[in-house]
Amino acid sequence: MSLIKLHDKTFEPYVTAVQLQEIVARVADEIYQDLGDSRPVFVCILNGSFMFAADLVRRYKGLCELSFVKMASYEGTQSSGKIHHLIGLSDDLEGKDVVVIEDIVDTGNTLEEIYRIFADKKVHSFRIATLFFKPDAYTKDLKIDYVGKPIPNRFIVGYGLDYDELGRNLPEVYQLNTSLTMTNIVLFGKPGAGKGTQAAFLKEKYGLVHISTGDIFRYHIKNETELGRLVRSYTDRGDLVPDDVTIKMLQEEVAKNPDAKGFIFDGFPRTIAQAEALDAFLASKDMKIHGTLALEADDEVLVERIIGRGKVSGRADDQDETKIRNRFAEYNEKTAPLIAYYQQQGKYYPIDGIGSIEEITQRLSQAIDLIKSK
């Protein structure tokens, strides 16, 4: 298997034909163990699952029926993409064991509608079998009885799955090669270095998703989510939020943006332990940090800049020089060692943080362009 190109995107090998047949055989055996004494009706949801369904029934050891159906959406100006009914679905399913065959389950929206459609069919039993399942994207509380392979929230093609109708006939499965298109940046610097301001420009220019741990914390706390309450339990005691809690929040943000061209991580990592945790998390998603941009500026300049900002914002801790210098000391102690960490990986890019906003943006852009060219 080698890289392939479909339309404007490049895909890399992910699951071989041999591995697919092993997965299909296992799922067929699991279904037979549950329903071997009956004659189940396999309902194949076209178009994506046609290959999976064909191989599944060939591997199934017992008697079975097979039905092919297609989805139909609401028509007219109120179309929302939701399923209205299944074209080709037999009404004669009463008392039968039904297994719906899906190619992939991600958010679960389609699955929810399938459950709804079958709710009044008076079937003897109802099960879902999917070749692929994206747990990071799944938002429903609906049972999936048979899962061929859990996968990250990445775009895949082949073995029935398509990209704008291309790739269905491939005997293997390929995933979008984000290493050729994705750019993940860590942006760090001392307080007052202008990370937030620059991130706002860079995310627009390069189509990146800006993930600020400070913004995430504030969102979860304000909305009193489960994670927000957990964060508050630490901050109210004056304790630092543990790395595993922060990483969990980052995981959620990354999972929300499966089609992102890349991410700007702002405010994380702050320590080597956090950097290692971030690398491990990204590696589990077949991703990585491509470069670390460090905005550098003299302490005296930053103190003056922060105090000026504090006069406008009214933040008391931005008007107390002692507190500002204490924040610098904490940065030097915990965050500065990251320089060596990323230097060893060849990913460290120091950026002169003194000058106009436009000048600094230009310097950062030059560094990102260099990273993208590698």
Give pLDDT tens digits for 290-307: 999 999 888 888 888 888
pLDDT in tens, 28-51: 999 999 998 899 999 999 899 999
**How confident is the prediction for the chain on average, in pLDDT?**
87
193 annotated binding-site participant: yes
Exposure on the CB side of residue 38, measured as CA atoms within 13 A: 16
pLDDT of residue 84: 58
The answer for 124, left when phi > 0, alpha when psi is -120 to 50, beta otherwise, is alpha
Q: Is 58 a catalytic residue?
A: no
Q: Is 190 a catalytic residue?
A: no
Q: Which residues contact 74 (CB under 8 A, 6 or more apart)?
A: 80, 82, 84
309 annotated binding-site participant: yes
268 annotated binding-site participant: yes
More confident residue, 187 or 177: 187
In angstroms, rounded to a whole number, what is the distance separating the alpha carbons of residues 36 and 22?
A: 20
240 annotated binding-site participant: yes
For residue 185, is pLDDT > 80? yes
Percentage of the chain exceeding pLDDT 90: 44
Q: Is 237 a catalytic residue?
A: no
Q: Is 195 a catalytic residue?
A: yes
Band of residue 180 on the pLDDT scale cut at 50, 70, 90: low
For residue 80, is pLDDT > 60? no
- Asked if residues 172 and 15 have their Cβ atoms less than 8 Å apart, the reply is yes
269 annotated binding-site participant: yes
In angstroms, rounded to a whole number, what is the distance separating the alpha carbons of residues 85 and 72?
A: 6
For residue 271, is pLDDT > 90? no
pLDDT of residue 192: 82
pLDDT of residue 169: 96
pLDDT of residue 282: 87
355 annotated binding-site participant: yes
> Which residue of the set 96, 270, 305, 363 is catalytic?
270
pLDDT of residue 181: 66
pLDDT of residue 2: 82
In angstroms, rounded to a whole number, what is the distance separating the alpha carbons of residues 256 and 103?
A: 21
> Which residue of the set 143, 311, 315, 325 is catalytic?
315
- For the ranges 47-56, 100-109, 251-260, 314-323, the lowest mean pLDDT is seen at 314-323
195 annotated binding-site participant: yes
> Which residue of the set 168, 309, 347, 372 is catalytic?
309
Q: Is 59 a catalytic residue?
A: no
pLDDT of residue 178: 65
pLDDT of residue 127: 97
> Which residue of the set 195, 203, 305, 363 is catalytic?
195
More confident residue, 39 or 74: 39
For residue 73, is pLDDT > 60? no
pLDDT of residue 233: 87
For residue 326, is pLDDT > 60? yes
218 annotated binding-site participant: yes
> Which residue of the set 168, 327, 334, 347 is catalytic?
327
